[in-house]
């Protein structure tokens, strides 16, 4: 507790979030837990030897109680309205979501709806899908529409992605498909945040109107403005398979490069005697930039860490990375505890902790390097490898795939991307001012096209790529312990860390073998519904047979049904059969399964 108090208190706060997430106690119980933990926390301030000896425990209980109470408050399920028939309503968009083949999708707020009574306190949050042949909505208008408003349904099986649960963490429980069109209504009451969002939307539109090729336009929007909503599936798949998808997520690398770029420019303008002012102005710029791109968890984390680091520099104190990480996490979770379940939040912080824990021992492999370029290569390699080792359990747990190609891909591409980020920032700034220099656009387009071809080449390499990798939460925890003890092996170079590492690794292997055997012995027949179509799954040991609806989209069925089932049930053999069009039921083991 003395060495890293903030980090330990953060761990206790997160434990409280997990407690409130998994135990559905009533309000009185959570109020009692909060009051009890606060009273126990006060014991840590009593100037007595016994109380001071257990001060860390008392503070841990305090933050456990605070975390559980905060998440209980955020996790309250409101009274969810159900709407019958078509509804006329007025709404405004709040956030742009990923598009699909037919629709542009947005998070929105319904401001006026006759059948909805909210006590005039908060609008109804909803996901709206607008046909692509409609004009793009913006923040300068309200919109009137008429449509069915449906509840977002939970899947019937645990191996399918629970989109309803995902949206509920944002307070969204309904969706609407606006096939009848939308009517804009001018508004003059934009808030400051909405004005910023509108400016971002206008920059995106300026980029769309530029002479850049479609793929370069989407790359520019993704790497600088955090907008991947229109990126084609082939490009996204290339980034995923090559292990370079983090390039498209505005993260610590992006923010650090942008900060140093602005600091370099400001230093050329202001005299050296104002060096503290230079740092403050650069920090103000990255926070303004964070607001512009809708301050995601990784962006806020990067901004807080940079601010904390340079605050120590300005105060002439030694910077502490772990305290900066803990402070950033606290700032995000205190505002919204649901952010803990955001995959980007988890990967972002685990990557930083992994770099802290593994970077030094990996860098030590290279010995004492005197050449500047060799040191640069060693640093890029160690940082990239550290982050990948640390995030590997979570990557497999959430995405069930991994490619060994990602290691050389990151080594080759990341240094180039750092230059591209600066180029992209400059070009996006010009577009925001409605300035387009043709030769500059052509140079950028050629550079991005070349970069995308390199990434595609890495993605096309089949060696070392595995998908449908099973991973449970218990395996993730043991994998993290294995990584922790691996770091100790490199740092301490004694027999005890080696024994600890070997013991945890054996536990991980034993658990994995046990789970593989359990799922191998399991047989089942499931009738599942996916995109309003019924499919039949028959599992016998290591073989799964999928009988798909004749109307099923094969690509969607593979992505949302087949692959999740294979990874969940640890299956390596599969057969796919189409259900005959006239079939109304299927018989297996003496039981009939209705298909219509």
Phi-psi sector, 165: left (phi>0), alpha (psi -120 to 50), beta:
alpha
SS3 of residue 390 by DSSP: helix
Angstrom CA distances, 538 to 173, 551, 593, stand at 32, 20, 12
Which residues are paired to 177 by β-bridges?
Answer: 129
**CB of 230 within 8 A of CB of 99?**
yes
What gap in Å lies between CA 344 and CA 335, rounded to an integer? 16
Q: Which residue has the tokens 């952010």?
A: 339
| Alpha helices in 467-553, H assignment, sequence order | 473-492, 495-521
pLDDT at 1: 47
**Residues 256, 306 contacting (CB under 8 angstroms):** yes
pTM reported for the whole predicted model: 0.87
List average pLDDT for each run of 10 residues in the chain, which is 596 residues long: 78 95 90 93 84 86 94 87 90 90 92 65 88 91 94 88 92 93 90 89 92 93 87 88 83 84 90 88 91 78 85 81 86 91 90 90 80 80 88 93 86 87 92 92 94 92 84 95 90 84 96 95 90 89 91 87 93 90 84 83
**CA pair distance 455, 242, nearest whole angstrom:** 7
Contact 274, 280 (CB under 8 A): no
The predicted pLDDT at position 99 comes to 87
pLDDT of amino acid 117? 56
At residue 250, the 3 state secondary structure works out as coil
Pairing mode, if any, of strands 523-530 and 465-467? unpaired
Residue 25: both structure tokens together: 């106690």
Find all residues with CB under 8 Å of 156, minimum gap 6, and list them: 528, 529
Residue 447, token pair as written in the block = 């550079």
* Structure tokens, 394: 């979570």
Residues in the chain: 596
Helix (H) or strand (E) holding 125: strand 124-131
pLDDT value of residue 2:
54
Neighbours of 74 (CB within 10 A): 17
Report pLDDT for 158: 86
pLDDT score of 433:
92
Q: Which residues, including other chains, have CB under 8 Å from residue 333's CB and lie 6 or more apart?
A: 13, 14, 17, 67, 70, 339, 340
CA distance 550 to 568: 25
pLDDT of amino acid 341? 93
Q: Are 545 and 557 in contact (CB under 8 A)?
A: no
Alpha carbon distance 360, 492 (integer Å): 12
Structure tokens at 589: 């083991």
Query: What contacts 573, CB < 8 A, 6 or more positions away?
Result: 542, 543, 544
Q: How many C-beta neighbours within 10 Å does residue 272 have? A: 7
Token look-up 């993290």 returns 480
Alpha-carbon distance values, 90 to 168, 191, 481, 586 (Å): 22, 18, 51, 46
Look at residue 44 in the predicted model and tell me its pLDDT.
83
Degrees, nearest 5: CA angle 525-530-536: 25
């Amino acid at each position: 507790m003395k060495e890293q108090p903030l980090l330990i208190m953060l761990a206790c706060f997160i434990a409280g979030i997990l407690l409130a997430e998994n135990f559905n106690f009533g309000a009185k119980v959570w109020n009692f837990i909060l009051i009890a933990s606060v009273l126990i926390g006060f014991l840590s301030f009593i100037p007595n030897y016994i109380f001071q000896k257990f001060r860390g425990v008392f503070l841990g209980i305090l933050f456990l109680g605070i975390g559980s109470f905060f998440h209980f408050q955020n996790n309250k399920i409101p009274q969810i309205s159900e709407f019958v028939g078509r509804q006329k309503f007025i709404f405004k968009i709040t956030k742009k979501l990923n598009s699909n083949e037919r629709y542009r999708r947005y998070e929105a707020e319904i401001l006026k709806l006759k059948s909805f009574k909210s006590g005039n306190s908060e609008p109804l949050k909803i996901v709206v899908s607008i046909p692509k042949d409609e004009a793009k909505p913006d923040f300068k208008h309200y919109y009137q529409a008429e449509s069915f408003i449906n509840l977002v349904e939970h899947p019937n099986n645990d191996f399918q992605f629970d989109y309803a649960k995902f949206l509920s963490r944002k307070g969204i429980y309904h969706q609407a498909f606006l096939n009848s069109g939308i009517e804009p209504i001018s508004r003059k009451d934009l808030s400051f945040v909405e004005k910023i969002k509108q400016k971002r939307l206008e920059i995106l539109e300026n980029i769309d109107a530029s002479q850049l090729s479609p793929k370069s336009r989407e790359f520019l929007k993704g790497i600088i403005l955090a907008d991947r909503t229109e990126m084609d599936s082939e490009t996204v798949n290339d980034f995923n398979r090559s292990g370079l998808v983090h390039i498209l997520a505005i993260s610590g690398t992006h923010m650090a490069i942008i900060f140093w770029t602005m600091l370099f420019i400001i230093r050329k303008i202001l005299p050296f005697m104002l060096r503290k002012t230079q740092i403050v102005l650069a920090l103000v710029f990255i926070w303004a930039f964070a607001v512009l791109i809708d301050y995601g968890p990784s962006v806020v984390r990067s901004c807080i860490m940079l601010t904390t680091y340079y605050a120590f520099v300005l105060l002439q104190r030694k910077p502490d990375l772990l305290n900066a990480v803990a402070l950033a996490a606290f700032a995000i979770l205190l505002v919204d505890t649901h952010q803990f379940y955001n995959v980007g939040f988890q990967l972002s912080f685990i990557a930083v902790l992994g770099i802290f824990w593994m970077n030094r021992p990996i860098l030590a492999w290279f010995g004492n390097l005197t050449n500047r370029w060799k040191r640069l290569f060693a640093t890029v390699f160690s940082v990239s490898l550290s982050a990948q080792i640390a995030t590997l359990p979570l990557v497999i747990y959430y995405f069930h795939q991994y490619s060994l190609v990602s290691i050389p891909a990151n080594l080759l591409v990341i240094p180039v991307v750092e230059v591209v980020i600066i180029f992209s920032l400059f070009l996006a700034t010009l577009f925001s001012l409605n300035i387009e220099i043709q030769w500059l656009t052509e140079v950028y387009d050629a550079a991005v096209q070349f970069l995308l071809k390199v990434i595609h080449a890495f993605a096309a390499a089949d060696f070392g790529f595995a998908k449908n990798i099973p991973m449970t939460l218990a395996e993730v925890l043991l994998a993290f312990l294995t990584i922790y003890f691996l770091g100790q092996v490199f740092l301490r170079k004694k027999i005890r860390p080696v024994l600890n590492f070997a013991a945890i690794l054996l536990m991980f292997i034993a658990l994995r073998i046990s789970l593989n055997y359990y799922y191998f012995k399991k047989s089942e027949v499931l009738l599942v519904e996916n995109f309003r179509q019924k499919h039949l799954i028959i599992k016998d040991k290591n073989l799964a047979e999928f009988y798909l609806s004749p109307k099923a989209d094969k690509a969607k069925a593979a992505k949302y049904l087949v692959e999740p089932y294979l990874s969940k049930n640890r299956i390596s053999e599969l057969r796919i059969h189409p259900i005959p069009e006239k079939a109304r039921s299927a018989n297996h083991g003496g039981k009939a399964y209705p298909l219509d």
